Amino acid sequence: MAIISYREALRAAMRDELKRDENVVLMGEEVAQFNGAYKVTEGLLKEFGPKRVVDTPISEAGFIGLGIGASMLGIRPVMELMFWSFSYVAFDQIVNNAGNIRYMSGGLINCPIVIRGPANGGTNVGATHSHTPEAILASHPGIKVVCPATPYDAKGLLKAAIRDNDPVYVMENTILYNDKGEVPDEDYIVPIGVADIKREGTDLTIVAHGRAVITSLKAAEILEKEHGVSVEVVDLRSIRPLDEETILASVRKTHRALLVEENKPFCGVDAQVAYLIQARAFDELDAPIGRVSSIDAPQIYSKKLEDLQLPYPARVVEAALKVLA
Amino acid sequence: MAKPAVITHPESLKNPAGPSEYSKHPINSSLTKEAKIALYTKMARIRHFEQRCIRIYQQGKIGGFLHLYVGQEAVAAGTISLLGKHDHIITGYRDHGHGLMVGMGMKECMAELTGKVTGCSKGKGGSMHYFAPDKNYWGGHGIVGGQAPLGTGLAYAVKFKGQKGSCLTYMGDGAVNQGAVHEAYNLAALWDLPVIFVVENNGYSMGTSQERSTAHPGCLAKRAEGYNMAWDVVNGHDVYEVRAKTAEALKRAHEESKPTVLEIFTYRYFGHSMADPDKTYRDKDEIKEYRDKKDPVLLFEKELLAEKVLTPELVESINAAAMEEADAAAAFADESPEPTVGDITKHIYWEEDNRGKNTTSSGTIIFE
């Protein structure tokens, strides 16, 4: 077991899978010679050569579509989007082609593609580069979406994604790239669709994904130290498939739920989670479900205000105390 | 009345009637009598299948859109007749002709149109979404130009695997103004991919003529020069010429791993889809001119009668058999069962269809 960063964990996953399966190809803008815009793929061109690690032009609809076509013939492309925000110019490929082809062919064609890259705000780059499209994409049957919060999950989920026979979209977070954690050297996967209890507790369930998990864990510390509240933090890890049973089991234990995500509130992931809890654990609830999302506006550029637009520990604590009141 | 639209065929392609100058081309002269008859038969089958579809559509049994290939038969027939084991095909929504050419059965094709479970996509795709991956046919795509990057990716995979193959990526003249097509052109040329972009130019992107849609006044294939790609223009009414010029592009793909844009001039006799009354953007006389003088099936028939490959009796029996086959397909489509409500949530994920096998995920994947 080594202590490595989230970035290194992603790289280790790709290195392992490049070695394991000769059909795995990494592709994207600046992934090869430049060593990755965020250095996630650093050194992989040198190790695996230009057939396996491929620089593309700035042409997302073109190269993502190319990867989808290649995947239909058995290649396993791992496509990097420099930002998931750039997926919007490739939306037809990502949704219509990758997401529908298995269905429209009556199950005759598989599309084992992985698209990965950062999907987060909080980096002071303005609205066009700060989208979090996990809810948008997960709303399309045929697509899988995962959002790792820790180095361990980043490696395990990416490896599972590369081995998966359906399109899997991996949403990372640039603010987490330097976070460190324990990651096994040996082969393992984190199964897609299995949530993880990141902290056990008895008084309140917080459901979160991505960096909101880290924020929620910090809030849970404060709630325990300053308010004597025991908080359980459920990390969804995967948006679709969704681990409904782990969410429900936690709510049945604590009887109170707070949902935290970095998405905007309208039609966010937590809208679905809130529906689930009221539909299947209504009688277990001792209080209305609480929710913390980004403030509902395009992502603001101003750094100081952007930090306040996103969920942060004090805001989560405040919302938790309301649910607990 | 608006001025009739002008189809910007190069002068040399305007008068294709008469014996084909490509009949002596080795790719054609080397064909056996049986192969020529088979090629004619396939064109006739496409014609009769499509004409049978019109009747079924008019009976209200085909929902959604129905884009007919009548008039364009020589394009699919000529190009696909040349393909080998590692050559792949992908196209847009006018996809019936390509499907029949690769060897899909009329029955499964017809049943797909009526949304039956016996259809090639089990009633989940419809007219615009035929697939037969076992025959290297990757669809059947509904969004104009969206298939261009996919075809480029199929060619990429062929090259990656070290196979001597290609991907014929078809699109209409309307697709050349889509960004995805230009991105595909650039990638194909940049990475030397064995892809052949076949622009089936039938003169109209839906109801908009080329001169009202495309800034470039000349032939559309010339845009390839902007990407340092080879290109050619083809008379799509002459199946021999289609074969001769496609063969050159295939050679370029197979031996040099280089892409080509082939613009094949053709014409559709019916509206953009059956929902198009076809009254606002072109003259009836224009359609008649093509039907009378440039019909690809009749021209090939004349050619083969002159070559004494076909006889009038044989022509009659081939056409009668094709009509009979189309009738049988229509009856099959009629009698076939509908998919069930339970079928709606199948074939979405590989994982869901293969529960118990080596899947790497769990959780709720289909929501209530």
- The Cα B331–Cα A249 span in angstroms is 54
Does residue B183 sit at the A interface (CB-CB below 8 Å)? yes
- Domain A2-183 matches domain A196-324 at the CATH topology level: yes
pLDDT of residue B5: 38
pLDDT of residue A254: 98
Q: Scanning every residue of chain B, which has its alpha carbon at the shortest distance from the alpha carbon of A91?
A: B146
CB nearest A242 (choices: B146, B157, B363): B363
Cβ contact, residue pair A72, B187, below 8 Å: no
pLDDT of residue B17: 58
Cβ contact, residue pair B363, A65, below 8 Å: no
pLDDT (mean) for B100-125: 97
Active-site residue (options: A8, A17, A29, A60) = A60
Inter-chain Cβ pairs, chain A and chain B, closer than 8 A: 194
Superfamily of B32-353 according to CATH: Thiamin diphosphate (ThDP)-binding fold, Pyr/PP domains (3.40.50.970)
Residue of A33, A105, A40, A135 whose CA lies nearest to B150: A105
Cβ contact, residue pair B120, A25, below 8 Å: no
Residue B134: other Cβ atoms inside 10 A: 10
Any idea which fold A196-324 has? Rossmann fold (3.40.50)
Cβ contact, residue pair A92, B146, below 8 Å: yes
Active-site residue (options: A129, A131, A232, A262) = A129
Residue of B118, B176, B110, B169 whose CA lies nearest to B140: B169
pTM over 0.90: yes
Question: A93 contacts in B (CB within 8 Å)?
Answer: 146, 149-150, 180
Contact B59, B189 (CB under 8 A): no
Cβ contact, residue pair A242, B180, below 8 Å: no
Alpha carbon of B140: minimum distance to chain A alpha carbons (Å): 9
- The Cα B166–Cα B155 span in angstroms is 5
CB nearest A106 (choices: B125, B142, B350): B125
Contact A202, A253 (CB under 8 A): yes
pLDDT of residue B278: 87
Encoding tokens for residue A201?
């507790």
Alpha carbon of A240: minimum distance to chain B alpha carbons (Å): 6
- The Cα A271–Cα A38 span in angstroms is 32
Q: How far is CA A117 from CA A92, A167, A208, in A?
A: 18, 14, 19
Question: B167 contacts in A (CB within 8 Å)?
Answer: 69
Look at residue B124 and tell me whether its pLDDT is greater than 60.
yes
pLDDT of residue A309: 98
pLDDT of residue A18: 98
Q: Tell me whether strands B260-265 and B230-235 are parallel, antiparallel or unpaired.
A: parallel
Length of chain B: 368
Q: Is A255 a catalytic residue?
A: no
DSSP H or E stretch at residue B231: strand B230-235
**DSSP for residue B13:** G
Residue of B345, B334, B307, B308 whose CA lies nearest to B118: B334
Alpha carbon of B161: minimum distance to chain A alpha carbons (Å): 9
Cβ contact, residue pair A62, B186, below 8 Å: yes
> Looking at beta carbons, which pairs linking A107-111 to residues 24 or more positions away fall under 8 Å?
A107/B122, A107/B346, A107/B347, A107/B353, A108/B121, A108/B131, A108/B132, A108/B133, A108/B134, A109/A72, A109/B131, A109/B133, A109/B138, A110/A71, A110/A72, A110/A165, A110/A166, A110/B350, A111/A68, A111/A71, A111/A72, A111/A166, A111/A167
Question: A157 contacts in B (CB within 8 Å)?
Answer: none
Q: Tell me whether strands B208-209 and B204-205 are parallel, antiparallel or unpaired.
A: antiparallel
Q: Where are the domains of chain A?
A: 2-183, 196-324
- The Cα A316–Cα B139 span in angstroms is 49
Question: B139 contacts in A (CB within 8 Å)?
Answer: 101, 104-105
Look at residue B13 and tell me whether its pLDDT is greater than 70.
no
pLDDT tens for each residue of chain A, 325 residues long: 899 999 999 999 999 999 999 999 999 999 999 999 999 999 999 999 999 999 999 999 999 999 999 999 999 999 999 999 999 999 999 999 999 999 999 999 999 999 999 999 999 999 999 999 999 999 999 999 999 999 999 999 999 999 999 999 999 999 999 999 999 999 999 999 999 999 999 999 999 999 999 999 999 999 999 999 999 999 999 999 999 999 999 999 999 999 999 999 999 999 999 999 999 999 999 999 999 999 999 999 999 999 999 999 999 999 999 999 9
pLDDT (mean) for B256-277: 94
Confidence of residue B6 (pLDDT cuts 50, 70, 90): very low
pLDDT of residue B217: 76
Residue ranges of B 33-92 with Cβ closer than 8 A to chain A: 88, 90
Cβ contact, residue pair B367, A272, below 8 Å: yes
Confidence of residue B368 (pLDDT cuts 50, 70, 90): confident
Question: B158 contacts in A (CB within 8 Å)?
Answer: 73
Does residue B32 sit at the A interface (CB-CB below 8 Å)? no
Alpha carbon of A243: minimum distance to chain B alpha carbons (Å): 5
What are the pLDDT digits (tens) for B208-237?
988 899 987 789 999 999 999 999 999 999
**DSSP for residue B124:** S
Confidence of residue B7 (pLDDT cuts 50, 70, 90): very low
pLDDT of residue B177: 95
Q: Scanning every residue of chain B, which has its alpha carbon at the shortest distance from the alpha carbon of A111?
A: B350
CB nearest A191 (choices: B157, B353, B361): B361
Cβ contact, residue pair B347, A70, below 8 Å: no
Q: Scanning every residue of chain B, which has its alpha carbon at the shortest distance from the alpha carbon of A273?
A: B367
- The Cα A310–Cα B85 span in angstroms is 54
What are the pLDDT digits (tens) for B300-329?
999 999 999 999 999 999 999 999 999 999
Q: How far is CA B49 from CA A315, B68, B300, B325, in A?
A: 65, 10, 18, 8
- The Cα A98–Cα A64 span in angstroms is 9
Look at residue B11 and tell me whether its pLDDT is greater than 70.
no
- The Cα A324–Cα B56 span in angstroms is 64
Question: A192 contacts in B (CB within 8 Å)?
Answer: 360-363
Residue of A145, A140, A147 whose CA lies nearest to A101: A140
Any idea which fold A2-183 has? Rossmann fold (3.40.50)
Question: B147 contacts in A (CB within 8 Å)?
Answer: 97
Contacts of A77 (CB under 8 A, 6+ apart): A24, A25, A26, A27, A67, A70, A71, A113, A114
pLDDT of residue B3: 36
Encoding tokens for residue B21?
């100058």
Q: Is A129 a catalytic residue?
A: yes
What are the pLDDT digits (tens) for B17-75?
567 899 999 999 999 999 999 999 999 999 999 999 999 999 999 988 999 999 999 99
Alpha carbon of B353: minimum distance to chain A alpha carbons (Å): 8
Could you tell me what percent of chain B has a pLDDT over 90?
A: 84
Cβ contact, residue pair A66, B138, below 8 Å: no
Confidence of residue B100 (pLDDT cuts 50, 70, 90): very high
Alpha carbon of A91: minimum distance to chain B alpha carbons (Å): 10
| 3 state SS of A87 | helix
Contact B168, B196 (CB under 8 A): yes
Cβ contact, residue pair B149, A105, below 8 Å: no
Residues A154, A48, A76: CA angle, nearest 5 degrees = 60
Contacts of B294 (CB under 8 A, 6+ apart): B16, B17, B237, B267
Cβ contact, residue pair B122, A65, below 8 Å: no
Contact B243, B27 (CB under 8 A): yes
pLDDT of residue B1: 34
pLDDT of residue B36: 98
